Amino acid sequence: DAGVIQSPRHEVTEMGQEVTLRCKPISGHNSLFWYRQTMMRGLELLIYFNNNVPIDDSGMPEDRFSAKMPNASFSTLKIQPSEPRDSAVYFCASAWGGAQETQYFGPGTRLLVL
Amino acid sequence: GESVGLHLPTLSVQEGDNSIINCAYSNSASDYFIWYKQESGKGPQFIIDIRSNMDKRQGQRVTVLLNKTVKHLSLQIAATQPGDSAVYFCAESNGDTGKLIFGQGTTLQVKP
Report how far residue B110's alpha carbon sits from residue A67's, in angstroms, rounded to the nearest whole number.
39
- Using the beta-carbon criterion (under 8 Å), do B98 and A100 form an inter-chain contact? yes
Type of residue numbered B17: D
CA distances A55 to A4, A34, A44, B64, B99, Å, are 20, 12, 16, 29, 10
Chain B: give the shortest CA distance to residue A104, in Å: 7
Count of all residues that appear for chain B in the document? 112
Chain A CB contacts of B45 under 8 Å are 105
pLDDT digits (tens, 9 = 90+) for B19-69: 999 999 988 889 999 999 999 999 999 999 999 999 999 999 999 999 999
pLDDT tens, per residue, chain A with 114 residues: 689 999 999 999 999 999 999 999 999 999 999 999 998 888 999 999 999 999 989 999 889 999 999 999 999 999 999 999 999 999 999 999 877 788 999 999 999 999
pLDDT for residue B1 is more than 60: no
A43, β-bridge pairs: A37
Q: Which whole-number Å values give the CA distances from A31 to A49, A95, B35, in the listed order?
A: 6, 5, 19
The predicted pLDDT at position B94 comes to 79
What would the pLDDT profile of A80-108 be if each residue is shown by its tens digit? 999 999 999 999 999 998 777 889 999 99
Between CA A107 and CA A4 the distance in angstroms is: 8
Q: Are strands B32-38 and B45-51 parallel, antiparallel or unpaired?
A: antiparallel
Residue B2 scores a pLDDT above 50: no
Q: Which of A43, A55, A100 sits opposite B32 (nearest CB)?
A: A100
